[in-house]
Amino acid sequence: MIEAINLTKRFEDIVAVDSLSATIKDGGIFGLVGTNGAGKSTFLRMACGVLRPDIGEILVDQEPVYECTTAKAKLFYISDEQYFFSNATPLEVMDYYALVYPGFRKDRFHHLMKSFELDERRRINTFSKGMKKQVSVICGLCADTGYLLCDETFDGLDPVMRQTVKSLLAYDMEERGLTCIVASHNLRELEDICDHVGLLHKGGMILSKELDEMKSGLHRVQCVLKEGDTVEVVLGAGAAAYPITVVKSEQRGRLTTLTLRGRREDIERAFAAAEPLFYELIPLSLEEIFISEMEVVGYDIHKFLF
């Protein structure tokens, strides 16, 4: 488990991370979302022990990670900007990481390089941005560490390769309990892979929730009510039994589209009891759920995200 406790990091007059606290549980994929400059990269660099917090601390399995070799041995960091030794080939990079990580799986490295159709003996400085990202991901997976920290890892990858990398992360999470933090400025990139999402804004964590929890608490309903019925009547009739809150309501002719907070079964019971002319529950996207959650805590997410 990775724990951030009251983290603050300044660069002269700029506060990159501001009193941030978070817990990343083992065996899942934590999506860290925020615009450029929100503090994602700074947080990841503190999490892997590259940067020292000015205030607070970050623990990996209850050990402070900064200048702690046992904690750092459990981490592999894939930075946004790829760096490799001058004129190095993937084979030489593999040998280097095998010295740093004794459990590095060379057999898997060769297999993945072949699967990704990357030349092991070609100099990496001749690779495209996407190809360099692929080499970094392969190294990160083959290092066989318990934690993988990914900074904008999907940026620069084509759609097919993005899905391939997501599948590999999900496989390692399932097979060996890999814990992964994926930082991105795009929620849509994380929707189909993360089980927990945290939103960074101006260096602070303003929202952190399990994805299932968010999805189970918000629902969209499209309905056509009977003549004379209103949404208030339909939901109010069973308000005591079915605690449901209207987050958003839109009307187009007789079709009403509602975003409701409450349990799915309660919403279904309320509408079934009202016997409207038509109703259906429609899944919300992660972006729509975040927008609703942020509006509740007083933020207009459209101003700084997506």
Q: What's the per-residue H, E or C state across the chain?
A: CEEEEEEEEEECCEEEEEEEEEEECCCCEEEEECCCCCCHHHHHHHHCCCCCCCEEEEEECCEECCCCHHHHCCEEEECCCCCCCCCCCHHHHHHHHHHHCCCCCHHHHHHHHHHCCCCCCCCHHHCCHHHHHHHHHHHHHHCCCCEEEEECCCCCCCHHHHHHHHHHHHHHHHHHCCEEEEEECCHHHCCCCCCEEEEEECCEEEEEEEHHHHHHHEEEEEEECCCCCCHHHHHHCCCCCCCCEEEEEEEECCEEEEEEECCHHHHHHHHHHHCCCEEEEECCCHHHHHHHHHHHCCCCHHHCCC
The model scores a pTM over 0.75: yes
Instruction: Give me the sheet containing 55-60, strands edge to edge.
Output: 14-24, 2-11, 55-60, 63-64
What is the C-alpha separation between 58 and 178, in angstroms, rounded?
19
- Amino acid letter for position 223: C
9, 17 in Cβ contact below 8 A?
yes
> What is the predicted pLDDT for the residue at 86?
86
Residues 6+ apart with CB under 8 A from 95: none
118, 131 in Cβ contact below 8 A?
yes
Q: What is the dihedral of CA 210, 215, 216, 220, to 10 degrees?
A: 160
Q: What domains appear along the chain, each with residue ranges and CATH number?
A: 2-202 (3.40.50.300), 214-303 (3.30.70.250)
> What is the predicted pLDDT for the residue at 117?
95
Q: What is the dihedral of CA 251, 255, 259, 264, to 10 degrees?
A: 160
> What is the predicted pLDDT for the residue at 145?
95
Q: What is the CA radius of gyration of the chain?
A: 23
What are the residues facing 179 on neighbouring strands?
147
Residues 6+ apart with CB under 8 A from 254: 224, 225
What is the C-alpha separation between 191 and 205, in angstroms, rounded?
19
- Amino acid letter for position 176: R
178, 146 in Cβ contact below 8 A?
yes
Token couple for 304: 């700084």
Token couple for 161: 């390769």
Q: How confident is the prediction along the chain (306 residues), in pLDDT tens digits per residue?
A: 999 999 999 998 889 999 999 999 999 999 998 877 889 999 999 999 999 999 999 999 999 999 999 999 999 999 988 889 889 999 999 999 999 999 999 999 999 999 999 999 999 999 999 999 999 999 999 999 999 999 988 887 888 999 999 999 999 999 999 999 999 887 778 878 888 988 888 888 887 888 777 777 788 999 998 888 888 877 765 544 567 888 888 889 889 999 888 888 888 888 888 888 999 998 887 777 777 766 665 565 555 444
> What is the predicted pLDDT for the residue at 303?
54
What are the residues facing 251 on neighbouring strands?
256
